[in-house]
């Protein structure tokens, strides 16, 4: 299939899913992916789609600390139909010094400004997931981090949120790489990209316990995307995915499960995932994403009644460069 045919196919998918159309030129104009410092303007939805199709997948890098298989038993707290073939859970050493240098929250810097900001952001999320039964929502522990457009800071937010929640006493976090077409966690955290979620959903011989990755942060585990699958959208929308999410949410309700996700206006996967989530953190790049674009993205997730808007990359605010606030009636 040529690139143009692929773009036409993607456009058709987006139209069917109710996304940007030719009438939405302002939103599409903003679909500028600054990856690798390129400032490519994409004036039409068609061009935006072509740009997105052309995005180079994150290369699998060999982490500074190669994944180590330990002799620890497979995670006893997650879905298991039968013992993992190897009986072992993979483990990676996240390079915390490198993350800290790049401005991320790390457990050994609990008083940094970024840590303080995420402390504020995580509170309502934890309350909605684990609060007293009156305030707790069903599947409230499934938290998706998304945005309208690419490069607004979803992965930055998802990782920081996961780090921050993992620093809580008695709270464990599962960080899921839900950006199946363009996983960011392998290069950032040094986790392998496969096997992972897509393998669990497409293979009978693999289950969640086989693909979880432990980390050097005791309360933090990672679920990679898994091997690339050409029908990833359908797989994420499958009954099997609903089953896996339902089990994650209910049987392991003591865990906060954070999904790093694709942008809502660029892929159908994000909307499929959103429909299954208890809470959504909508990252908005300050001073660059138009309100009309944000509104369009919000309209695609209106079925989720807990949406937290988070302004990212703000240059100057009263509360610092980064803050969160609740939108809608569900603020508690």
Ligand X SMILES: Nc1ncnc2c1ncn2[C@@H]1O[C@H](COP(=O)(O)OP(=O)(O)OP(=O)(O)O)[C@@H](O)[C@H]1O
By CB under 6 A, name the binding residues for ligand X.
Answer: 102-103, 147, 150-156, 179, 182, 184, 263, 312-313, 322
320 binds, among ligand X, Mg ion, none (CB under 5 to 8 A by kind): none
| d(C-alpha 132, C-alpha 248), whole Å | 20
User: Could you tell me which stretch among 19-27, 151-159, 188-196, 283-291 binds Mg ion (CB under 5 A)?
Assistant: 151-159
Among 106, 155, 215, 312, binds Mg ion (CB under 5 A): 155
Tokens of 314: 């703000």
Query: For residues 30 and 184, which CB has a smaller minimum distance to ligand X in the complex?
Result: 184
Q: How many CB atoms lie within 10 A of CB 275?
A: 14
Residue among 105, 127, 125 nearest 115 (CA):
105
Query: For residues 147 and 279, which CB has a smaller minimum distance to ligand X in the complex?
Result: 147
For residue 263, the minimal CB distance to ligand X (Å) is 5
Residue among 186, 199, 173 nearest 78 (CA):
173
Question: 200 to each of 128, 181, 196, 204, how far by Cα in Å?
Answer: 28, 16, 6, 7
Query: For residues 259 and 322, which CB has a smaller minimum distance to ligand X in the complex?
Result: 322
For residue 282, the minimal CB distance to ligand X (Å) is 11
For residue 223, the minimal CB distance to ligand X (Å) is 17
For residue 232, the minimal CB distance to ligand X (Å) is 15
Query: For residues 128 and 160, which CB has a smaller minimum distance to Mg ion in the complex?
Result: 160
For residue 160, the minimal CB distance to ligand X (Å) is 8
Residues 283/153, Cβ–Cβ less than 8 Å: yes
Q: In what order do the strands lie in the sheet with 279-285?
A: 68-69, 90-92, 213-215, 220-223, 172-177, 255-260, 142-147, 279-285, 307-312, 323-326
- Is residue 106 a contact residue for Mg ion (CB under 5 A)? no
312 binds, among Mg ion, ligand X, none (CB under 5 to 8 A by kind): ligand X
Surface-to-core class of residue 178, CB atoms within 10 Å of its CB (0-12 exposed, 13-18 middle, 19+ buried) = buried
* 300: enclosing H helix or E strand: none
Q: What is the three-class DSSP state of 140? A: coil
For residue 155, the minimal CB distance to ligand X (Å) is 3
For residue 188, the minimal CB distance to ligand X (Å) is 8
What string marks each residue from 180 to 209 as x (binds Mg ion by CB under 5 A) or -? ----x-------------------------
- Is residue 33 a contact residue for Mg ion (CB under 5 A)? no
* 15: enclosing H helix or E strand: helix 3-16
User: Could you tell me which stretch among 32-40, 154-162, 231-239, 241-249 binds Mg ion (CB under 5 A)?
Assistant: 154-162
Query: For residues 89 and 289, which CB has a smaller minimum distance to ligand X in the complex?
Result: 289
Tell me how many degrees the CA angle 12-15-21 measures, rounded to the nearest 5: 115
| d(C-alpha 256, C-alpha 130), whole Å | 9
Query: For residues 195 and 263, which CB has a smaller minimum distance to Mg ion in the complex?
Result: 263
Query: For residues 84 and 266, which CB has a smaller minimum distance to ligand X in the complex?
Result: 266
For residue 123, the minimal CB distance to ligand X (Å) is 19
| d(C-alpha 197, C-alpha 176), whole Å | 8
Pairing of strands 213-215, 90-92: parallel
152 binds, among ligand X, Mg ion, none (CB under 5 to 8 A by kind): ligand X
* Contact residues for Mg ion, defined by CB under 5 A: 154-155, 184
């Amino acid at each position: 299939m040529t690139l143009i045919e692929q773009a036409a196919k993607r456009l058709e998918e987006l139209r069917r899913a109710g996304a940007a159309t030719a009438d939405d030129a302002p939103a599409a104009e903003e679909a500028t992916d600054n990856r690798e410092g390129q400032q490519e303007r994409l004036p039409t939805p068609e061009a935006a789609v072509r740009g997105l199709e052309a995005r180079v997948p994150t290369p699998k890098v060999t982490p500074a600390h190669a994944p180590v298989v330990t002799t620890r038993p497979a995670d006893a707290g997650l879905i298991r139909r039968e013992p993992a073939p190897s009986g072992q859970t993979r483990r990676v050493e996240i390079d915390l010094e490198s993350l800290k240098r790049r401005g991320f929250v790390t457990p050994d810097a609990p008083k940094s400004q970024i840590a303080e900001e995420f402390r504020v952001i995580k509170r309502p999320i934890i309350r909605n997931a684990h609060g007293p039964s009156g305030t707790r929502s069903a599947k409230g522990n499934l938290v998706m981090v998304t945005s309208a457009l690419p490069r607004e800071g979803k992965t930055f937010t998802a990782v920081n949120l996961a780090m921050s929640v993992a620093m809580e006493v008695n709270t464990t976090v599962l960080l899921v790489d839900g950006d199946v077409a363009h996983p960011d966690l392998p290069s950032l955290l040094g986790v392998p990209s496969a096997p992972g979620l897509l393998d669990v959903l497409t293979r009978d011989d693999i289950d969640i316990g086989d693909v979880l990755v432990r980390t050097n942060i005791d309360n933090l585990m990672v679920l990679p995307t898994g091997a690339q699958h050409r029908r990833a959208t359908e797989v994420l929308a499958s009954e099997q995915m609903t089953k896996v999410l339902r089990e994650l949410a209910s049987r392991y309700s003591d865990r906060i499960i954070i999904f790093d996700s694709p942008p809502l206006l660029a892929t159908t996967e994000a909307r499929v995932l959103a429909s299954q989530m208890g809470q959504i953190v909508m990252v908005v790049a300050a001073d660059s994403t138009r309100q009309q674009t944000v509104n369009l993205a919000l309209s695609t997730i209106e079925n989720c009644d807990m949406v937290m808007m988070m302004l990212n990359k703000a240059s100057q605010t009263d509360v610092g460069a980064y803050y969160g606030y609740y939108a809608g009636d569900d603020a508690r």
